Amino acid sequence: MKVLILSCNTGGGHNAAGRALYEEFHRRGIDCEFLDTLSFAGPRASKQASSIYINVTTKTPMLFQLAYNIAHWISSPHRKSIVYAFNRKYALKLGQYIEENHFDAIVMPHLFPAEAITYLKKKRNLSVRTYAVATDYTCIPFWEETQPDYFFIPHRELSREFIRSGIPREKLVPLGIPVQRTFGVRRDQKEARQALGLPTEGRMILLMSGSMGYGHLGQMASQLYKEYGTRLSLVILCGNNEKIQEKLKKQFAAYSNIFVVNYTEQVSLYMDAADLLLTKPGGLTSTEAASKKIPLVLTDPIPGCETQNASFFERHGLALVPEKKADYVDAVRTLLDDASVRERMQAAQELYVDPTAAAQLCGFILADCGYLEPAAQATDTAPDTNAAEHSVPADTISSHTDDQSSN
C-alpha cells in the first residue's frame, strides 16, 4: 500500500492537515509521500502562488473577499474554471510521477491537486483511488468541479451545503478535519510553561495570527495590557511573518509579561500553557484549538471561508466571536471570569470536533483500498504525544524535481 498526499503552500492549514495524515499513515506502517503539488508546475510556481496569496489576504483582504464572492458566483459543476485550466497545465507531469511510483491512493487537502487529478482522470484514465479533504467549515468555490472518489468534510451538518454546490451525496464522508495527535491531549499547564521557558504562575493568554501573520496582534495585545496590566501574561505567535515579529518585539520590548515568539513548531505546547486562545478562524487552527478544548476567541477572519468558519464555531458554541475589535477584551473577560461559560464551550468542542479525525480518515482510506491492517493498528486511535517521530516540518513540504526518487 502506497499513499501520496498532495498539498500546496497557500496558507498553512492545508499542509497541517496533510502532516496529520502523513503521520497517521506512517504510524500504521504505510508507505507515504507528502508533496507540494505546484512543484510540478516549475521551480518558481509554488513560491509565486504563496506570495500572491499572502500579499492579497494580508494587504488587501477586501480584494480577496471580492474574488471569493465572484468565485462563488461563477462556480458550477457544469463548466470548468480558470483554476482548473491553470492546474491542468502541470497535470501530465504529475500523472507521470504517479504512474512511475505506483501509488494506490492520493489524498488532497487542497483544491489545486484535486483539479489536476480530475484532469488526469478524464485524459489519462487515472485509476488510483482519490480523496479530497475539506479544511474549512464551508464548501469553497470550485470543489464541485473536481471528481475525487470521496470528499472528507468537517461535519455532517455541512453535507447539505456541499450537495447544493453540486457534489454527490454518496461521495461525502463527514469525519472531521484531520489534526495531529498531539492536539488530542492536554499536557499539564505548569509543565508546558516550564518547557517553553514561560512564567509558571498566573493566567496566560495566547494570541495567534495563523501562518501568515494576519490580523491586528499589536492592537489586541495593547488592549489586553491596558485592561489587565501585569496581572496576566500574553504570548504572541506570528507564524512565518518576520516583519510582524520584529515590529511587535520592538513595540513590546519594555513589557516583561508580553512574549513575542519567533516561528515555532510547538503550537500544541503553547496551547497547553495557555488559559485562553485568541486566533483568526483558520479551519485548521480552530479545529486544533477545539481538539485541545481550550477556551477560544476568534478574531479577524480573512473574508471568505474564514468568515464561515467563525460562523460555524459561534453557532455551535465552540468559540466567542466578537463583532468589533473593541469587544475582544469583553470576550476575554467573560471567559476568564465565568467558569460556566468555559465549561459549556469545552463541552461543545468535545461534541462537534473529533481529535481522532486523522485516524478515522486513514482507516476509511485503507479500507476503501482493500488494505487489511494489523488488528492492533486498526483499532488504536488513542492520542499519541510522541507523534513527532514521523513528523513533517511545519514550514515546508517536499518539492518534486525531475531526478527525485520515490521515498
CB 395 within 8 Å of CB 33? no
CB 13 within 8 Å of CB 137? no
CB 79 within 8 Å of CB 103? no
23 vs 361: CA distance, rounded Å: 12
331 vs 401: CA distance, rounded Å: 48
Number of H helices, E strands in the chain: 17, 12
Helix (H, G, I), strand (E, B) or coil at 216: coil
Closest alpha carbon to 399 in 41, 3, 21: 41
172 vs 151: CA distance, rounded Å: 5
Angle between helices 61-74 and 45-59 (to 10 degrees): 110
CB 143 within 8 Å of CB 165? yes
Query: How buried is residue 330: exposed, middle or buried, by Cβ count under 10 Å (0-12/13-18/19+)?
Result: middle
pLDDT, one tens digit per residue, over 42-95 is 877 766 665 655 555 556 666 655 665 666 666 667 778 888 888 999 999 999
The DSSP element (H or E) to which 172 belongs, if any, is strand 172-173
Helix (H, G, I), strand (E, B) or coil at 131: strand
Q: What is the DSSP letter of 129?
A: E
Would you mind telling me the total number of residues written for the chain in this entry?
407
Angle at 68 between CA 240 and CA 45, to 5 degrees: 50
Q: What pLDDT does 305 receive?
A: 86
Q: What pLDDT does 67 receive?
A: 65
Q: What pLDDT does 396 receive?
A: 42
CB burial of 116-133 (b: ≥16 within 10 Å; e: otherwise) equals bbbbbbeeeebebbbbbb
pLDDT, one tens digit per residue, over 309-340 is 999 999 999 999 998 777 899 999 999 999 99
- Rounded mean pLDDT, 348-373: 93
Least confident of 117-121, 154-158, 325-329, 366-370: 325-329
374 vs 86: CA distance, rounded Å: 41
Q: What pLDDT does 238 receive?
A: 86
Q: Is residue 380's pLDDT more than 70?
A: no
Q: Is residue 400's pLDDT more than 90?
A: no
Closest alpha carbon to 385 in 190, 203, 175, 192: 192
pTM of the model: 0.87
Give the sign of the dihedral formed by CA 269, CA 271, CA 272, CA 275.
Answer: positive
CA–chain centroid gap for 160, Å, is 22
Q: What is the DSSP letter of 39?
A: G
Residue type (1 letter), 273 = A
Other Cβ atoms closer than 10 A to 314: 15
Where do you find CATH 3.40.50.2000 in the chain?
2-179+355-399, 183-352
- One of 3.40.50.2000, 3.90.1150.10, 2.60.120.260, 3.30.230.10 is the CATH number of 183-352, namely 3.40.50.2000
Considering only residues 389 and 228, tell me which one the structure prediction assigns the higher pLDDT: 228
Give the sign of the dihedral formed by CA 60, CA 65, CA 70, CA 72.
Answer: positive
357 vs 359: CA distance, rounded Å: 5
Least confident of 141-150, 183-192, 389-398: 389-398
- One of 3.40.50.1970, 3.40.50.2000, 3.40.50.970, 3.40.50.11540 is the CATH number of 2-179+355-399, namely 3.40.50.2000
Cell of 171: 461521495
CB 279 within 8 Å of CB 296? yes
Q: How does residue 304 score in pLDDT terms, banded at 50, 70 and 90?
A: confident
